[in-house]
Every structure is written in C-alpha cells, then in structure tokens.
Amino acid sequence: MKHLERLRCKDKYFDVVDGYKEIKTARIWHCKYKSLGILSKYENIKKLVIATYPDDDLEPIGELQALEHLRIIHLPKVRSLEPLGALMKLKYLSLETLPSWDSSGKVTIVDSLAPIGRLNIEKLQLFGVRPESKELSELENCKSLISGRFHKYPKKEIERFVLKMGINDDWIPDPVFEIEL
C-alpha cells in the first residue's frame, strides 16, 4: 500500500506525484499549500488526514469515491459539507477546529449537516464544526451510526441525539498508515 506523507511543507502548491494512482493513504499536516484542489486526482485514497485545509470548499474531497476514513483538522473557510454527501464508502469522519480555538470559543459554522446524514457513517466526530442552529437533527437519517462525539453543541442537544440514535461515544481510531521506508 502506498502512502503520501506531507508534513509542514513550505511549498505553495500541492502537486500530483509519480504513481499517484497507487496511493491509498495520505497525511497532509499543516502545510503552506494555497489549495488542495489537485487532491481529486488521488482517486484511490482510502484514508486521508488533513490538518489545515486551505480551500473554501470540499469539492476535491468529494471526488474521492474510495475514501473510507477522513479526518480534517482546521477547515476555517468551509461552509458547505455538500461534497461529502457523495462519499458512499465513508465509515469514519472527523471534522475538527484547532484545539487552540476551544478556549476562544471559535467554531466553524456550516450550512447543514444533512450531507453527512445521507451517508453510511459508523463513527462521527464533530468538534467545533456545527450549523448555526446548534442541532444534530439532520444526522438522524444516518441509521448506520454507532458512535458520535460532539463538541460546541448544547449538552441537552447531544444527550437528546445520543438517546434517540442509541449510539455510544467511542473515539474514532487513528488511521494506520503503512509507510514505505
């Protein structure tokens, strides 16, 4: 299994690497890229972790039809989760604000959680990523949900949702990357 690892790259542009169709896992960690638009070319990625997502939409990620595990930390410009609604193989999803935002109370406001509610997700984490309504009701169609963790939502709303859905609050396991040496 081929893995793409980009840690704190100072390059401005993310590019396609040789053998990109063989890449199954990727970690793009706090790089200085202006865009990850070309990510859509990596069509065989199954596990993807991104810290600091530079774009204002998730269109490139919505093209990754093989994706099973997605974690994005810090997506401050994103307002729509609609592209995620196309990821029918997605089982694990974690969308998070930076931990440093916790104390300041900052959140990433999205239009709707409905695109996630249409998926067959098993485990979901939304930390500081929420709709203006602060409600989880748009996720109630997600009958495959086993576990959910939510931060920056009203406690009563989390309790209501967990009770209605009959889910636990297990953490999503970190993806395992087989890094070739």
Quote the CA–CA distance of 74 and 109 in Å, as a whole number.
Answer: 12
Full DSSP string of 49-85: EEES--SSS-HHHHT-TT--EEEEE--TT----GGGG
pTM: 0.95
Q: Which long-range contacts (CB under 8 A, 24 or more apart) does 130-136 make?
A: 136/160, 136/161
* 74/20 Cα distance (integer angstroms): 25
End-to-end CA distance of the chain: 12
CB 180 within 8 A of CB 3: yes
In the chain, what are the domain boundaries?
2-165
Task: Give phi and psi for 48, each to the nearest 5.
Answer: -140, 130
DSSP per-residue string spanning 121-143:
-SEEEEESEEETT---GGGTT-T
Q: How far apart are CA 28 and CA 51, in angstroms?
A: 6
Buried b (16+ CB within 10 A) or exposed e, 109-143: ebebbebbbbbebbbbbbbbbbbeeebbebbeebe
CATH, range 2-165: 3.80.10.10
Q: What pLDDT does residue 177 have?
A: 87
Cα 104 to Cα 4, 58, 107: the distances in Å are 33, 25, 9
Taking only the tens of pLDDT, the chain with its 181 residues reads: 699 999 999 999 999 999 999 999 999 999 999 999 999 999 999 999 999 999 999 999 999 999 999 999 999 999 999 999 999 999 999 999 998 776 778 999 999 999 999 999 999 999 999 999 999 999 999 999 999 999 999 999 999 999 999 999 999 998 988 765 4
Q: What is the chain's alpha carbon radius of gyration, rounded to the nearest angstrom?
A: 16
Residues contacting residue 55 through CB under 8 Å, at least 6 positions apart: 35, 36, 37, 77, 78
**Both tokens assigned to 141:** 């169609």
